[in-house]
Structure 1
């Protein structure tokens, strides 16, 4: 696969890093400067997909029960809530962000910043009113991610970070990281993890290999496949789906002018972890490709392009001809 055009296309965007592998072989590697490969940096909401992996591992180990388990098993105080719909929320509803809890992450009621200013984040989320019935609508929420992190702590008897070290980070060779925590010491489920770009790449490769790393299955293939399956339609800038804290989309040569110029009718499905300010891990199973993008510029300084869909995807499609 020839990606020689990519360097010039990325030059005006000035990304922090761009890594692309195929069949676990590096095809393209770009860093803004030579110090970046060794530096950990915020991956923002890509943390959610890491948390999803930890929940899957805990389910495999039977530390956490299956996805259809009611969350009242972990938060019995919900049994006394005046809204009976809270008693119907399951682990899968949390993973797909379809809990029905009334939440506006940043706009409107600004649920996320209000949570982070509270003394007890988990209690704050549990006390929010219901907006609808569980399972009917996806509402992006770092609050439900915090509930999942708290459940992992409750059932594993260790911190989320410690669980990650034992069951995910150490096997992947991730030794340098930082992870923020709430006032109760529960590591942030929705953001707050810092990793190197190469560590993000390893995590993506693990999922591309359906949970296998070397001779071990760190996550069962059944859980990996289920977690990245489209679960609910989301109205975002592009019509896409959401899985278990993963986004899923398709791209084809008919979707926009940049891709149409490839003169190819090919298409592919992909799933990805997405973090604020340009942090991404894209997996394209049909091509055995992982793409990692990171950035660190302020919003007003960031290039408006959707780098993957407008630059990388058309190039991949041209190579499929």
Structure 2
């Protein structure tokens, strides 16, 4: 179950690289600035840089993660696909014909909905769970839960659009993935998840149960479907650290501690905008979209640095944010079910992103220029595996003569530390010897994917040059 987050966007040109401090974040959470948060974890480049538990929560506590379950369900389908057990373009009829007469009037037009279209939430079913509270009897999720057969309830919904043509967020459609996993693997989704996902990730404790306001142990655990399987739409409970491991699995392209669990192509497919502002009224901001049970947003922090954020999101502020260009994962769990104030999206943008700096890596290789100085440019090659970099700086003397420098050095703590050599001599195509003289030092500091800062120190000169990307691609 998910209620849409609203990540705000600002457009201020980035001016500096932040220094890290999470004390203001901790104080704001304690004061309730972002609701009833129970846990917040921030990791960057594999290291936990902030971890806090609040309002009686402990690290080992299980939290109902609501619609984050959908993203886990997508991963289970991806694992099955990696094993050759399921294909994204397979129709639902392949999975439900053993339960129902898929040629009947009520179900025949559902048979050709594909697995991918369900993961994309472009199934075509008439379904609107966003305009009412999940505790409202009129909400289709509530109606499904109260039905005798959840699968049949979903499949008997009328079609509102041709499959693959329109976005409609549906916890019911996601629930159908439980059957897909069972038929494809011969195991219930909970068993398959334990064996193929949670155990490899080192997640020791999980639980499957429908939400109850009375807490763990008071919800539904007897699943009203022919297989008696838990819903891959909203029924999973996990510890916050388990959510972090799951987010880092996607951050690392499907690999955990050297073991591949998901194909990288599945992660890429999960993070592709099949629905977006250009083809759906649901997404009213450029850069927003939905993939395979993952949401995508393009945001800017208060300094104007722009980031693409992929997130798994559940009702009540259960969220996994993944920001690849920062090497970061942010996890929140909360009891924000009746909360209407600034939410964790605001916290991410205003309190967390400003404290994170990207590392200089091979993604920054390419051509860069100083927008304030015409005719000046940099060619940068980051040799990430060797921990080295080289750059060529093309500029002019005050008299207009060509002047160029070679910058060579190493990567230290995500920053490029280089020695600057001035080149002289040599003529085009003449083979003349080129002389190099040490001229100064410099540091390449990444700001965001589109911007670098070059700090230069030389005799009689100390300056910072803002650089903008000319070639290469950023996540959009």
TM-score by length of 2: 0.61
2:54 corresponds to 1:3: no
What is aligned with 1:205?
A: 248
- In 1, the alpha carbon distance for the partners of 2:283 and 2:55 equals 31
What is aligned with 2:371?
A: none
2:71 corresponds to 1:71: no
2:112 corresponds to 1:94: no
Which has the greater radius of gyration? 2
> Any conservation in 1 of the 2:20–2:355 contact (CA below 8 Å)?
no
What is aligned with 1:246?
A: 294
Q: 1:91 to 1:23 in 2, by over 3 A?
A: same
Aligned counterparts, 1:241-280, within 5 A:
241-253=289-301, 259=302, 262=303, 265-280=304-319
Deviation sequence 1:217-254 (CA, Å, 0-9, x none): 0111111111121110255586321110110001025x
Q: 1:83 to 1:33 in 2, by over 3 A?
A: closer
Task: Report the Cα offset of residue 213 of structure 1.
Answer: 0.8
CA-atom RMSD, angstroms? 2.1
Structure 2 counterpart SS, 1:282: strand
What is aligned with 2:53?
A: 31
- In 2, the alpha carbon distance for the partners of 1:210 and 1:142 equals 26
- In 1, the alpha carbon distance for the partners of 2:175 and 2:107 equals 21
What is aligned with 1:123?
A: 152
Task: Report the Cα offset of residue 19 of structure 1.
Answer: 0.4
Structure 1 counterpart SS, 2:50: strand
Aligned counterparts, 1:106-185, within 5 A:
107=131, 110-180=139-209, 182-184=223-225, 185=228
Task: Report the Cα offset of residue 83 of structure 1.
Answer: 7.5
Q: 1:106 to 1:33 in 2, by over 3 A?
A: closer
Task: Report the Cα offset of residue 115 of structure 1.
Answer: 0.8
> Any conservation in 1 of the 2:96–2:179 contact (CA below 8 Å)?
no
Q: 1:101 to 1:250 in 2, by over 3 A?
A: same
- In 1, the alpha carbon distance for the partners of 2:205 and 2:106 equals 45
- In 2, the alpha carbon distance for the partners of 1:86 and 1:35 equals 43
- In 2, the alpha carbon distance for the partners of 1:45 and 1:122 equals 18
Deviation sequence 1:111-165 (CA, Å, 0-9, x none): 1111111111111111111111111111111111111111111221111100001
> Any conservation in 1 of the 2:71–2:293 contact (CA below 8 Å)?
yes
> Any conservation in 2 of the 1:23–1:289 contact (CA below 8 Å)?
yes
Deviation sequence 1:173-226 (CA, Å, 0-9, x none): 112111135223111111111110000001001110111011210111111111
> Any conservation in 1 of the 2:326–2:356 contact (CA below 8 Å)?
no
- In 1, the alpha carbon distance for the partners of 2:258 and 2:355 equals 35
What is aligned with 1:294?
A: 333
2:129 corresponds to 1:105: yes
Structure 1 counterpart SS, 2:127: coil
More helix by share: 1
Structure 1 counterpart SS, 2:311: strand
Structure 1 counterpart SS, 2:41: strand
Deviation sequence 1:92-126 (CA, Å, 0-9, x none): 11001111111122647521111111111111111
2:337 corresponds to 1:306: no
Q: Which has the higher contact order (CA 8 A, sep 6+)?
A: 1
- In 1, the alpha carbon distance for the partners of 2:332 and 2:114 equals 33
More strand by share: 2
Q: 1:288 to 1:235 in 2, by over 3 A?
A: farther
What is aligned with 2:62?
A: 40
> Which residues of structure 1 form unaligned runs of 5+?
254-258
> Which residues of structure 2 form unaligned runs of 5+?
1-18, 133-137, 210-220, 358-446, 448-476
- In 2, the alpha carbon distance for the partners of 1:94 and 1:87 equals 12
Task: Name whichever of 87-96 and 10-19 sits farther off.
Answer: 10-19
2:237 corresponds to 1:194: yes
Q: 1:232 to 1:317 in 2, by over 3 A?
A: same
- In 1, the alpha carbon distance for the partners of 2:356 and 2:255 equals 28
